[in-house]
Chain A
């Protein structure tokens, strides 16, 4: 009887172990994007069918909340198997060695070099750390200017000829496009995307010859004159200057798709085209919108467009090896559909094959984005890039909204960013 019980127990434990091995759950946290959800849900179903016993649990959160959720989960050692964020937020995970390097074999590549060869040069540099590769790009995005042609014509302008090529022209054109009720802007010509200072505003300083951090990475704020000119420009843009926009108005990019005669221009990525189509098909079909390059200052010393940023799929290094391999296999499966991501979601996976494909080249305005990207560089990323971005935000807000002089704002900005660099 005792023997029988021992055998029964052994069989039970064995079956439980085998069952656990056969049922592998991969958690996948990502930001909300309805167009992506549609195709990725299908990839999950296909992958689960091809890999019996594997379950992919995809969880989405708003793009504003996902960073906090993943951070707190990792802090409690409960991070998901797969996640993605923008590189300036993701880099801290690499620097703190919380990730699993790519398993190129599981991802279907013959060698690590083959992974690098599949992507356009430099695009994997931000996720390469101590000789290991820690991410594969879901998308690489740069911003150009989206224009509502109807708004231009309504203000007596020809969008094809009168679109702003310089920031000085941007001020003048925006002023003409504005519809004001006293101090209140019922229609803005253009407005910035205020939370993203590293992507769009640091390049404006670079056009004037300034830098956020010196080349050796030790000194904050290079070329005071460039920074002061940029801060004066923002002061002039704000409510106490020519009153062309403010961080407290609704995000221009969100309003643009609705075509409600409340915004003339905004800056955003190629993905916006898919979102216009999803939000307002009539406006999309009307072709009453166009995309032009990121402007530069009249006396710019460098031709720098908006910085590009990447969202990289990454794998949690604290998960069992088996999960890591399956996670890389699944990521590679999703990323094996770059043309569908491009046509359905309008996001660009920077593979050599896609960037040279007819599908990409025939996308409306893809040439505008490609030309700008060729002149640009990746956004500043580091372990403390979010904190540095917040300090730039404070400087810009203080000149736009609080009446602080650009010189004083710069002094504070320098002190704070230097402190971040010194603390390491």
Chain B
């Protein structure tokens, strides 16, 4: 007769405790992330008005086909892509430069970290309001630039010109988040063992070679992480564009997908169509997350 012996191994006990500890987060995520996602997916299949008490009409994929034919939606895609590329590339490059600069300092490292990071503490709304004042035609933006370039009286149309308003939103985002990504790079740089640099020094490598052949390759996982996080952040941008348009900036150049979702739901009351747009944005973001996972696995580094 076979008697089943219960497996009370330490691993199983650990795993059980693991599940217990993870459970609150899983419940939280299910409630506040997974449920809204599935609800949005379900809602996107209906013609539903936000204020209507009547049952919504099932229209299948009509909201998606409408969006794919809508010039407004494609303009939002363009605005999002332009903003994302225009922001995350400088963010990536400059946060790396700033991190190397801070790490190379023998003194005031903490001061520089604090100085770069401080804008990230501000809420996006506060940051946008500060920059709205700076970008006012009579504000500091024109005064600074005109005094630097010796061009008195020129209105650089920070918010009025189609190109400039896109640059302005990028500038605000860059200012706000460069410190955050600098800190991530600093952590990445600190994890590279000094012994590798010492060995390279014995072999006669200079600073440039150290950076090019040691720092940059060994920072690849951090670089990929920063690029994916910053890209996802940029895809989700909303408050800067929202507040700028409230401040009189033209909508079309900076009508990013999130702003379009907001207008479609809140102004137009078309919650089904807004849900379809949010699902498309979700798919795009999932795609980048998948790229992140693939890349990070391929680039695991052990010293």
B246 at the interface (CB under 8 A from A): yes
- Taking a contact as CB atoms under 8 Å apart, the answer to whether A184 and B153 are in contact is yes
Contact pick for A393, options B155, B162, B251, CB 8 Å: B251
Segment of A19-27, A168-176, A222-230, A394-402 in the binding face: A394-402
Interface residues in B14-57 by Cβ distance below 8 A to A read: 49-53
Q: Known interface pairs A92-B51, A248-B159, A249-B136. Does A394 touch B252 (Cβ–Cβ under 8 Å)?
A: yes
User: What number of B residues sit within 8 Å (CB to CB) of A?
Assistant: 34
Q: Known interface pairs A185-B137, A393-B251, A401-B250. Does A96 touch B155 (Cβ–Cβ under 8 Å)?
A: no
- Taking a contact as CB atoms under 8 Å apart, the answer to whether B160 and A181 are in contact is no
Could you list 15 examples of A-B contacts with CB < 8 Å? A74-B51, A96-B51, A181-B153, A182-B153, A183-B153, A183-B155, A185-B137, A239-B155, A248-B157, A248-B249, A390-B251, A394-B252, A398-B250, A401-B250, A402-B253
Interface residues in B144-184 by Cβ distance below 8 A to A read: 152-155, 157-162
- Shortest CB–CB separation between residue B49 and chain A, in angstroms? 7
- Taking a contact as CB atoms under 8 Å apart, the answer to whether A247 and B51 are in contact is no
Contact pick for A398, options B49, B50, B248, B252, CB 8 Å: B252
Q: Known interface pairs A246-B160, A401-B161. Does A183 touch B154 (Cβ–Cβ under 8 Å)?
A: yes
Please indicate the chain A residues that have their CB under 8 angstroms from the CB of B160 in the complex. 239, 246-248, 401
Contact pick for A93, options B51, B137, B159, CB 8 Å: B51
Residue of B whose beta carbon sits closest to that of A79: B51
A321 at the interface (CB under 8 A from B): no
Map CB proximity to B onto A380-417 as digits: 1 under 8 Å, 0 otherwise: 00011011001001100110011000000000000000
Segment of B200-208, B264-272, B294-302 in the binding face: B264-272
**C-alpha gap A71/B263 in the complex (Å):** 13
- Taking a contact as CB atoms under 8 Å apart, the answer to whether B248 and A97 are in contact is no
A194 at the interface (CB under 8 A from B): yes
- Shortest CB–CB separation between residue A389 and chain B, in angstroms? 9
Please indicate the chain B residues that have their CB under 8 angstroms from the CB of A98 in the complex. 51, 53
Residue of A whose beta carbon sits closest to that of B156: A183
B142 at the interface (CB under 8 A from A): yes
- Which 3 pairs between the two chains have the least Cβ-Cβ distance? A182-B153, A247-B248, A183-B155
Please indicate the chain B residues that have their CB under 8 angstroms from the CB of A185 in the complex. 137-138
- Taking a contact as CB atoms under 8 Å apart, the answer to whether A397 and B137 are in contact is no
- Shortest CB–CB separation between residue A264 and chain B, in angstroms? 16
- Taking a contact as CB atoms under 8 Å apart, the answer to whether A397 and B250 are in contact is yes
Please indicate the chain B residues that have their CB under 8 angstroms from the CB of A64 in the complex. 246
Please indicate the chain A residues that have their CB under 8 angstroms from the CB of B142 in the complex. 184
**C-alpha gap A186/B143 in the complex (Å):** 13
A285 at the interface (CB under 8 A from B): no
Map CB proximity to B onto A164-199 as digits: 1 under 8 Å, 0 otherwise: 000000000000000011111110000000100000
**C-alpha gap A247/B159 in the complex (Å):** 9
With a 10 A CB-CB cut-off, give which of A75, A97, A180, A248 has the most chain B CB atoms: A248
Residue of B whose beta carbon sits closest to that of A183: B155
- Taking a contact as CB atoms under 8 Å apart, the answer to whether B52 and A248 are in contact is no
**C-alpha gap A246/B250 in the complex (Å):** 11
**C-alpha gap A96/B267 in the complex (Å):** 15
With a 10 A CB-CB cut-off, give which of A72, A97, A186, A247 has the most chain B CB atoms: A247
Please indicate the chain B residues that have their CB under 8 angstroms from the CB of A247 in the complex. 160, 248-250
Contact pick for A96, options B52, B153, B252, CB 8 Å: B52
A-B Cβ contacts below 8 A, count: 94
Q: Known interface pairs A97-B53, A387-B267, A401-B161. Does A248 touch B138 (Cβ–Cβ under 8 Å)?
A: no
Please indicate the chain B residues that have their CB under 8 angstroms from the CB of A93 in the complex. 51
Please indicate the chain B residues that have their CB under 8 angstroms from the CB of A183 in the complex. 153-155
B247 at the interface (CB under 8 A from A): yes
Interface residues in A245-275 by Cβ distance below 8 A to B read: 246-250
- Shortest CB–CB separation between residue A61 and chain B, in angstroms? 15
Q: Known interface pairs A239-B157, A239-B160. Does A182 touch B138 (Cβ–Cβ under 8 Å)?
A: no
Known A-B contacts: A64-B246, A185-B138, A247-B248. Give 16 more (CB < 8 A): A68-B266, A71-B269, A75-B271, A96-B51, A182-B153, A183-B154, A184-B138, A184-B153, A239-B155, A239-B157, A248-B158, A249-B136, A249-B137, A249-B138, A401-B161, A401-B250
How many A residues touch the partner, as a band? 35 or more
- Shortest CB–CB separation between residue A259 and chain B, in angstroms? 17
- Shortest CB–CB separation between residue A340 and chain B, in angstroms? 33
- Shortest CB–CB separation between residue B56 and chain A, in angstroms? 13
Residue of B whose beta carbon sits closest to that of A246: B160
Interface residues in A363-393 by Cβ distance below 8 A to B read: 383-384, 386-387, 390, 393
Residue of A whose beta carbon sits closest to that of B268: A387
- Shortest CB–CB separation between residue A76 and chain B, in angstroms? 10
**C-alpha gap A246/B268 in the complex (Å):** 26
- Shortest CB–CB separation between residue B154 and chain A, in angstroms? 6
**C-alpha gap A234/B112 in the complex (Å):** 48
Please indicate the chain B residues that have their CB under 8 angstroms from the CB of A180 in the complex. 153
- Shortest CB–CB separation between residue B161 and chain A, in angstroms? 7
Contact pick for A386, options B53, B251, B267, CB 8 Å: B267
Interface residues in A206-243 by Cβ distance below 8 A to B read: 239
Please indicate the chain B residues that have their CB under 8 angstroms from the CB of A249 in the complex. 136-138, 248
**C-alpha gap A186/B267 in the complex (Å):** 34
Please indicate the chain B residues that have their CB under 8 angstroms from the CB of A72 in the complex. 266
Interface residues in B264-293 by Cβ distance below 8 A to A read: 266-269, 271
Residue of A whose beta carbon sits closest to that of B246: A64
Contact pick for A71, options B53, B152, B159, B266, CB 8 Å: B266
**C-alpha gap A183/B160 in the complex (Å):** 13
- Taking a contact as CB atoms under 8 Å apart, the answer to whether A397 and B251 are in contact is yes
**C-alpha gap A117/B125 in the complex (Å):** 48
**C-alpha gap A383/B263 in the complex (Å):** 15
- Taking a contact as CB atoms under 8 Å apart, the answer to whether B161 and A75 are in contact is no
- Taking a contact as CB atoms under 8 Å apart, the answer to whether B137 and A248 are in contact is yes
**C-alpha gap A267/B251 in the complex (Å):** 24
**C-alpha gap A239/B251 in the complex (Å):** 17
**C-alpha gap A383/B153 in the complex (Å):** 45
- Taking a contact as CB atoms under 8 Å apart, the answer to whether A402 and B250 are in contact is yes
**C-alpha gap A345/B51 in the complex (Å):** 32
- Taking a contact as CB atoms under 8 Å apart, the answer to whether A394 and B268 are in contact is no
- Shortest CB–CB separation between residue A44 and chain B, in angstroms? 28
- Shortest CB–CB separation between residue A262 and chain B, in angstroms? 8
